[in-house]
Structure 1
Amino acid sequence: MKRHLLVTAVCTALTMPSLAMAQEQGEVTQLDKVTVTGSLIPRSQVETATPVFSITAQDIQRRGFKDVYDVLRSQPMATGSVQDGQFSGGFTAGAKSLSLLGLDPGFTLVLIDGRPMADYPLLYNGQSNFVDLASVPVGMVERIDVAPGNQSSIYGYQRRDFDSTNDNPDPTLRYGSRIALHNLAGPPATYVDPGADNCAALGALFNGSVQYDNRVNRGNFCSSRTEPGYASILNKERSASGYANLSYAFNDNVELYSTLLLNRTKVEVNGGPRFWQTSSDTGGLFYNQDSQQLEGYQRVFAPEETGDNGFNNNRQTADSYNIALGLKGGLGASNWTYDAYYARSEYRIESRQQWPLADRIEDFFREQFLGAPQGEYYGYPIYSPNDANFYRALTPAQYRSFNDEIRTKSRTWTQNVNLQLTNTELFNMPAGAVGVAGVLQAGNQYWTNPTDPRVIAGDFYQLTGTQGSGKRENWAAAFEMRVPILSTLTANLSGRYDDYKNQGGGGDSKFTYKAALEFRPIDSLLFRGNYATAFKAPDMAFSFAGDSGFFQGVNDYYRCAVEEPGVPISDCTYAGTSIQGRRSGNADLKSITAKSWGAGVVWSPNARFSVNADYYNIKIDDKVSDLSTDALLQNESACRLGALDINSPTCVDALSRIDRTATDAPVPNRLSNIRINPVNISNEEISGMLTKATYNLATETWGLFVFDAQYNLTLKHESQQFPQDPVRDLLSEPFFSSEFRSITNASITWQKDAWTTTLFGQRYGRTPNFTAGQSTDGYAAEGARKVGPWTTFNATLDYAINDDISLTATVNNLTNERPPRDRTYTDYPYYNIFNYTGYGRSYMLELNWRFGAQ
């Protein structure tokens, strides 16, 4: 038996098959009461006051989706940018996340058969929790329901065409990665000519691609134009999963049931070659005693030096399970039914990765060519380097001598006990029976991410990480009523009270509710509307994150004002200063609240055709965001310069968070550290239109044709991160968002006898080009505009050998369509990896064999 997955924005859900398989076309059946997504009360009508967009197991197979992530990423509601396996240097490259309606992945609630899944133990963007969709095996999903709005109250390494800098859309920038670079301090920074012979000494590296290269206005250097292609864009992945559903009926009123879903996934990710540069603490510069000037060296390590391209891989083993054990049935001869169960979901990750240790790699290069340190020059270390030794390839033994393995074991779980009582006919009114349901729930959840303490301490070269651990207790009570006011008008009312407490302090409680109306003037026409409030406890990581580090480029407003007065901040030497900061959680965070409303219409004049259109609006308040480093630095400058009262709470807070070197230090007032934490401060609002149409055409000669189309248009997406900030229009200010405004998909299925074929198309609307997203000028900047839409097709051909065995051939990205061309995107891989995938045409052949089918 398969399961049902539910996914919603602010809430979302998956269903694994527990309902009967669809019956053959043409049979006329009486609908029994079934559980409908968005409601606790079973009913016979599928379309209700809450719009739900469903994808069946048959849809998944026929449209060529290989996993649940593909299914959900193809939905028109998945408009937001996300970090996936293409972002191999990110915090969660081994997981798959989803952004519905442009919201953060953490705002997508994923339920299996109505029960929550454990969070992914590692943190999205190093900050927040989310559910890893890769942990749900697609073969066990019967149906996926996607519901917008508030439902609170109830991979091998794959090379592709983009594998070298020769693909750069700007011909003037088709130079290679800087494998061996010797530069002088700027501005602008210029290169010291290594000479062709030195580059030739490294020529065998990166599969013989290192060459003597030139960059206009900078100079000559040793490069490889294929180096970018050594990072993975599609994870090496091996997975195994299993599902069991057991039940035993003691009598007509008592049934014992249990479900178990197990999954193990092994993932390898390669974030690209490691590098080393001189004196990272001083911007990569040191004072050359021989040339009497500030210089820098940079070296990128090739696979021939590491021993193999997989030596640096991040290897992750993920184990997850979802289990439920319960009793359900009826209470005597009454209309009351009950469902009492215990459910638990757990996710564990063990990761291993080789990384250079800071002290070892620095000692190696001092011995290799820099020589012993000879003191300091205005804070910069002094060396007399042996330049020729810099252009020597390392042996694998040398490279591995300064590496060590980082090991971490992270874990999350969530568990609860749940009692639900339901009566579909509590009492009768003139227009019909009143249905009611109630729920009591209690449970807890746990998260731990104990990163190798050496990472947090900064012992590994140019690497930082996140850590934390915490536990939260929660309980809730909920009710729902369905009231037929008139024969044509039905109301649905629900409410829920939630209370949670953090271990060690902090917590919150909130009552949320939902009211919805269904109006059916005739059987074929439904008008619907709903209003709901929502409650979301802060992510565990926001509350329990321990002291962690991050790297960031910031504007040093104070030094610019003091040392370069009158110079615009964009031209100041200290704009874009690289610093290392510290971050920790905030146990006193309050819950995030939201309000949503929607209205729509469904028209189904006959069993072959239906069309619906729905408007949605979601407003989120008290959204959790990290304190802005830019705002803190602006406040600090104003406080130190007297523009703000230095004794004011604003100044006391800002000055306590920012560390600088002493005024008598070799480099006085240099930023050394900044500390931030999350706070309830942001607001966000989204609105849009969702439409769907389906038409079935049955012919006597040519078989059955099924046409299906969906469309989402975002009408409004505004965000305000801090109270002093202006409200940002995320649809027209590309510096803040590159989300899709519109997404359309459509499919045509032809079924005749044992053969079924489907063509599925997906069109993504226009998005900002690279230039548009680089400054607050947005589309007003020179060269800023939008790139064109992107359309891809999947095709499948299915042959039913008999009732139990079928063979399916699938071609994904049938036309081998690349992401839209952007001539301003001059950084590898030359398209926005958070919006698009560079995967070309792929083929799959699948054999399905059902054993013991009836």
Structure 2
Amino acid sequence: MFTIHRSTRKAALLAAVTPFAMLYAGAVSAQTAPEGASTDAASIAQQTQGTEAADDQAGNDIVVTGSIIRGTDAGPSPVSTITTENLDARGINTVQAGIQALSSNNGPALTNSFTANGAFASGASSVSLRGLSTNSTLVLFDGLRAAYYPLSDDGSRNFVDLNTIPDDIVERVDVLRDGASSSYGADAIAGVVNIITKRSFQGVTGRVEAGIAERGYNANQRLSLTAGTGDLDEKGYNAYVSGFYYRAEGVQSKSLPAPFNSSDERGLCGDRTGTRVCGPNNVANGLDANGSFTNGFAIGTGNFYVRPANATNTTALGRYQLLNPTAGCRVGTPYNPTAAELALPINATAPGTVCQVDTQNLYGNVTPDQERFGGSARFTAKVGDTSEAYFQVNFQQSTASYTGVPATIRANAPAGILFPQYSTSQNATAAIDPRSAILALPVYICARGTATCNATNGTLNPNNPFAASGQVARLVGTLANEREFNETRSRVYRAAMGINGTIFGDVDYRADATAMHTDLRRRTDGYVYIQHLLDVIADGSYNFVNPELNSQATLDYLTPQNITNSSSDLYQAQFTLGKALFALPGGDLRVAVGGSVFYEAVDAPSGNPDTNGPTQRYFRQNAFGTSGNRTVTSAFGEINAPILDQLTLNASGRYDHYSTGQSNFSPKFGAIFTPIQQVTVRGTYSRGFRIPSFGEANALPTTGYVTQQLSSIPAAFLSQYSTNPGAGQICTANTPNNCSGYITAYSIGQTTLASPDLKPEKSRSFTAGIKFEPIRSLSLTVDYYNIKKTGAITTPDLSPAIAAYYAGQAIPTGFEVIPDAVDVNNPTARPKIAFVRSQLINAQTIKSEGIDFGANGFVDFGGVKWTTNLNASLILELSTTVDGVRQTYVDTLGNFNLTAGSGTFEWKGNWSNTFDFGDLALTGTVNYTSGYDLSAMDQGDAYKDCGQAPAYSGCRVKSYITADANATFKVNDKFSFYVNALNIFNRLPPIDPVTYGAYLYNAVQGGEGIFGRSYRAGAKFNF
């Protein structure tokens, strides 16, 4: 991934008639409530779970997420619960998708669609509670930590991949919407997602399911089977095994309706500026809105162009031309610019025939192909009369893959991280001139390895149309018959074991241990290896004139497969002891203490390092990488004091010490007050921390890419790159359509150097909530939260360094600007910036403030049961402060550094309703996400000033509402069938021309709505 403040409070009307799944509340240890409601609201409704073992043995206490004290009362923190039954009723077929749909999940969440759009953490999905990014939400499995995904979000943020959740053994998901470092340690600043697996299971259950979008794409299938035996009460043991298979077909942009299926944005028009303006034609070498070729020459895709230069490759001697004019445009539509068009400065190097290629339509991807399968097994047994032990193992493999654009040959080797400058020693073949670094086909070719190739020992180059004239041919283009392919395959192995019960008659104890290992393989094909390109150019072994005639062996040499293996590990042992000390007027005063030790490690080497020189690597592959390990020892405790029947106080604290030198103590205080039976008031105050990630504190340079912002470039420099200055089309930060693609259409590498002295981020948070239950079948909740992080880790503002470089001034202290190679279309221009290097610093203050709303009800109309559930989250403020300068982002596109330009939505929510007629249950859900202003203060904008919106766009991206429906028919006690209709009104996401996680829409806001109306049908059985 890659970029919020108090705004006008607008009441969002979430109107819907949408059934809500029957809430599973039949078992004490599985007592749950729907997302957006507290766990103590679960008694509203019940649903029998077929042959599933009911965990309602007398004496079992609920273990509340966020507390280490066993008891039947909910804690003071707001906790939402997702049950698998809830997800089924809403037509959500994976736990990962259910977590993404949380109303409290906001802003920089990482969805699966990012994999097909260049995400650093390809193949993964993560949650971001409160808009505080993926590294401030802690994900647990049965209360224990999980291994990080080996790749970091944006190259720096550690997180747990939600795709590793074993869906079919999940009992429920508890979402603690409060700081919880006092119980769980680092990273639980915004909240905790706790995946609770089934304790026991009897019988056999399974499902078969398939779905597809109405337009015929996004086909998906799911198979699962679970079998268990043994009754814990009668036989003293239970064992079950479970397996599943899931597949989702990738979707390409060309399958979508306009405008999402084309690079031509001329159909997007607006009159915000007082004059009707339409979008650009981003088709490579496409014509502008007036039908003229004024956008500058682009190398296109699938075609080679050459340009004559003198024998030493120091002076160009003419324009570009198609390398094989007879073959014409192998990809795209030919266009012959007029003499007037060729005379424009922006077209100074353009050929007489250009190929117009709609890259988005031909090669764009919406989502990758996804395949997941795995298995789980658990054995649980009574130990004596008062204890219970378990052992559980899980394996899961998850694969995501997509095919992208044709293999690209750049005009020069890009600047490297370790070797940013060129030298003569890097160019033994003389194919790249050490002064200009411009790629060229030589006059003569010789056997590979020949030190000097000339007329004496070589032959005229058949690929060079100018060889007979003694001229080299500068080369740009892409391979028509070779496309880039990306695949990530994750294998997760997890084992857990533990024992819990009572000793000495009244002391509760629990001991658990877990080990989790992730193997991640990244495989790429179709990327050009620079040194191999120089080899085949020098010896003529690659046929550039007729690429389709090359052998597979030659293609494999030019674009060798690249496999990078990464891994992560987590080993943890934890114990707790609890005891009721004495009676208070409201009940027993209970205390608990515990300890934990865990080891975590990530080893994710760069898939494209330049450690051996700038040519010993691939074009277009990112060089990021990270590694590190640490051991953490912790001690924690909690006290729960029911002072009165109406008042309970709670306090907890935890001390964590890291082998890397950091330590932290995290306290928390809470209270529950029930003045009358129908009203409960609760509140918490806590302090927490986030440990610097391996990607932030490691010793490897990590590079992320950010879009070039015109506001950081001096106006005098911009004006030199106007598309048509004669017509008054001057390039400025406010008129990007008038700017040459040379300066606007690229990203800057933001390289983070080792920052071993970073301190943990610290947080202060408090919550205040009220639950009103006027009758047993109706519950209303409102919870306020306020989180403040200090010492937040951030990249220094790059704008001063960028502006200084383009102005020819000294680069400010703390930054290093590395220029890219000379641009062949603008050889006299100041080279663009390749990288800006700096160290991360503890400099930000981040504040997140908002309100959660929940309403849950159940009514029986003479046998027809109606269940309703409303959840909504309102962000009042999300702001950052650096060096005393405060920037706010609610209801805007920013913060780019924090949310990767995916915005922060003021409102997000859903409303579900279920009507159960006995054998038939109908469920409907309405989902709402608010719109936002196209501005971001960290990009130089004022708050909500429309600063990022192009002239053809409105200032705001509209809100987005979708509706889903589900029908379940119960044939008998053993069989049921269901049909989902998702996005039943076929509403596509609103247009967003700025967000870059997806094309022309916001992937976080739009989700799977981009597929339009979809259907899914399945059958479930229980024996």
Q: Bin the TM-score by the shorter chain.
A: 0.7 to 0.9
Report SS of the residue matched to 1:485.
strand
Partner of 2:656: 498
Q: State the Cα distance separating 1:594 from its structure 2 match.
A: 0.5
1:478 and 2:636 correspond: yes
d(CA) in 2 for partners of 1:637, 1:825: 26
User: Cα–Cα, structure 1 residues 601 and 456, in superposed 2: closer, same or farther, change >3 Å?
Assistant: farther
* 1:732, distance to aligned residue in structure 2 (A): 5.4
Q: Deviations over 1:505-554 (max 9, x none)?
A: xx211111111111101111101111111122111222225234556676
SS of the aligned residue for 2:598 comes to strand
Q: Is the 8 A contact 2:265 2:280 kept in 1?
A: no
What's the counterpart of residue 739 of structure 1?
Answer: 904
Matched, 1:156 2:249: yes
Aligned mates of 1:814, 1:391 — CA distance in 2: 49
Residue 139 of structure 1 deviates from its aligned partner by: 2.0
For 2:988 and 2:713, the matched residues in 1 are separated by 45
Stretch moving more, 137-146 or 82-91: 82-91
Of 467, 479, 491, 1:301 maps to 479
Please say if 1:202 is aligned against 2:229. no
What is the aligned partner in structure 2 of residue 728 from structure 1?
A: 887
Q: Distance in 2 between matches of 1:638 and 1:769?
A: 28
TM-score, normalized by length of structure 1?
0.81
Task: Kindly indicate whether the alpha-carbon contact (under 8 Å) linking 1:769 and 1:825 is maintained by their aligned counterparts in 2.
Answer: no
**Which of the numbers 546, 551, 575 marks the counterpart of 2:700?**
546
SS at match of 1:819: coil
2: CA distance between counterparts of 1:352 and 1:770?
A: 37
**Which residue of structure 1 lines up, in the alignment, with residue 96 of structure 2?**
69
Partner Cα distance (1:679, 1:232) in 2: 36
Q: What is the deviation of 1:23?
A: 5.1
Q: Decide which of 617, 620, 645 is 2:789's aligned counterpart.
A: 620
Say yes or no: does 1:106 pair with 2:131: no
Aligned 1:116-515 pairs, distance under 5 A? 116-154=145-183, 155-159=248-252, 160-161=255-256, 162-165=260-263, 169-170=267-268, 173-174=280-281, 176-177=283-284, 178-179=300-301, 180=303, 198=325, 201-203=328-330, 205=331, 210-212=333-335, 221-225=354-358, 227-279=360-412, 281=414, 298-302=476-480, 305-306=481-482, 312-333=484-505, 335-354=506-525, 355-362=527-534, 364=536, 395=550, 397=552, 399-423=555-579, 425-452=580-607, 454=609, 457=612, 458=614, 459-502=617-660, 507-515=661-669
Query: Separation in 1 of the partners of 2:784 and 2:618?
Result: 51
In structure 2, distance between residues paired with 1:294 and 1:77: 60
C-alpha displacement at 1:285, in angstroms? 7.0
Question: Is this contact kept in 2: 1:356–1:460, CA < 8 A?
Answer: yes
Deviation of 1:201 (Å):
2.5
| Paired residues of 2:28 and 2:60 also in contact (CA < 8 A) | no
CA distance in 2, matches of 1:268, 1:140: 26
Any conservation in 1 of the 2:69–2:591 contact (CA below 8 Å)? yes
Point out the more displaced range, 771-780 or 601-610: 771-780
State the alpha-carbon separation in 1 of the partners of residues 886 and 743 from structure 2.
25
Which residue in 2 is equivalent to 1:677? Answer: 839
1:318 partner amino acid: S
**Aligned position for 2:777:** 608
**Distance verdict in 2 for CA 1:174–1:733, change over 3 Å:** closer
Q: CA deviation at 1:565?
A: 13
Aligned match for 2:83, one of 31, 42, 56: 56
CA positional deviation for 1:588: 2.3
Deviation at 1:231, TM superposition (A): 3.6
Deviations 1:793-842 (A, max 9, x none): 22222122333332222222222221113578899832233542322333
AA partner of residue 699 (structure 1): F
- Which residue in the other structure is 2:61 paired with? 33
Q: Does the 8 Å contact 1:5/1:113 carry over to 2?
A: no
Q: Residues 440 and 475 of structure 2 are in contact (CA less than 8 Å); yes or no, is this contact kept in structure 1?
A: no
Q: Hey, which of these two has a bigger chunk of strand by percent? A: 1
Distance 1:840 1:31 in 2: 49
**2:770/2:782 contact within 8 Å kept:** yes
- Structure having greater relative contact order (Cα 8 Å, sep ≥ 6): 2
Moved more, 414-423 or 164-173: 164-173
Cα distance, 1:489–1:250 mapped onto 2, change above 3 Å: closer
Q: Distance in 1 between matches of 2:336 and 2:644?
A: 79
3-state SS of 2:99 partner:
helix
- 2-structure distance, mates of 1:455, 1:807: 56
Residue 629 of structure 1, CA deviation: 3.5
What's the offset of the Cα at 1:400? 3.7
Amino acid at match of 2:883: P
Shift of 1:148: 1.9
What is the CA–CA distance in structure 1 between the aligned matches of 2:868 and 2:1019, rounded to whole Å?
26
**Per the alignment, do residues 284 and 67 of structure 1 end up closer, same or farther by CA in structure 2, a change over 3 Å counting?**
farther
Contact 2:401 2:486 in 1 (8 A): yes
Measured in 2, the distance between the counterparts of 1:183 and 1:743 equals 52
Aligned partner of 2:221 in structure 1 is none
CA distance in 2, matches of 1:557, 1:820: 26
What secondary structure sits across from 1:102 in the alignment? coil
Paired residues of 1:474 and 1:501 also in contact (CA < 8 A): yes
Give me the whole-angstrom Cα distance separating, in 2, the residues matched to 1:616 and 1:776: 28
Please report the RMSD computed on the Cα atoms of aligned residues, expressed in angstroms.
4.6
Deviates more, 1:347-356 or 1:689-698: 347-356
- Answer yes or no: is the 8 Å Cα contact 2:511–2:576 preserved in 1: yes
Structure 2 counterpart of 1:377: none
> Relative to 1, partners in 2 of residues 1:274 and 1:68: Cα closer, same or farther, differing over 3 Å?
farther
Q: Which moved more, 1:446-455 or 1:487-496?
A: 446-455
Q: CA deviation at 1:786?
A: 0.8
The residue type equivalent to 2:633 in the other structure is W
Secondary structure at 2:644's aligned position in 1?
coil
Alignment deviations for residues 28-73 of structure 1 (CA, whole Å, 9 cap, x no partner): 9999631222222233334x42111111111011101121221011
| Alpha-carbon offset, residue 324 of structure 1 | 1.5
Instruction: Indicate if the aligned counterparts of 1:149 and 1:617 stay in contact, CA closer than 8 A.
Output: no
Rounded to whole Å, the distance in 1 between the matches of 2:649 and 2:326 is 76
The Cα offsets for residues 175-234 of structure 1, whole Å up to 9 and x where unpaired, read as 6333348699xxxxxx9796999496234x4xxx54438799867721233654424322
- For 1:754, the equivalent position in structure 2 comes to 919
Amino acid aligned to 1:346: H
Structure 1 window deviating more from structure 2 (748-757 vs 839-848): it is: 839-848
Picking from 52, 68, 80, the partner of 2:107 is: 80
Q: Deviations over 1:690-727 (max 9, x none)?
A: 001011121225x111111111111011013x426x21
TM-score, normalised to structure 2, is 0.68
Decide whether aligned partners of structure 1 residues 280 and 815 sit closer, same or farther in structure 2, where only a CA change above 3 A counts: farther
> 1:848 and 2:1002 equivalent?
no
The residue type equivalent to 1:748 in the other structure is: N
Q: Structure 1 residues 559 and 711 mapped into 2: Cα distance closer, same or farther (>3 Å)? A: closer
Shift in Å at residue 119 of structure 1? 0.5
Unaligned runs of at least 5 residues, structure 2: 1-26, 40-44, 51-55, 184-247, 269-277, 285-299, 308-317, 348-352, 416-435, 443-465, 722-730, 822-826, 896-900
Change (3 A) 1:671 1:370: farther
Query: Where does residue 188 of structure 1 map in the other structure?
Result: none
1:153–1:351: structure 2 CA closer, same or farther, 3 Å change rule? same
Q: What does residue range 522-537 of structure 1 map to in structure 2 within 5 Å?
A: 522-537=676-691
Does the C-alpha gap of structure 1 residues 715 and 29 become closer, same or farther in structure 2, counting only changes over 3 Å?
A: farther
What number of residue pairs does the alignment pair up? 786
Q: Is the 8 A contact 2:492 2:519 kept in 1?
A: yes
CA deviation string 1:589-642 (max 9, x = no partner):
21111110111110112221111011111101112223443345568999976x
Distance 1:266 1:214, change over 3 A: farther
Equivalence map 1:762-777=2 (5 Å): 762-769=927-934, 776=941
Distance 2:32 2:753 in 1: 33
Matched with 1:796 is 966
With over 3 angstroms needed to count, the CA separation of the structure-2 counterparts of 1:112 and 1:281, relative to structure 1, is: closer
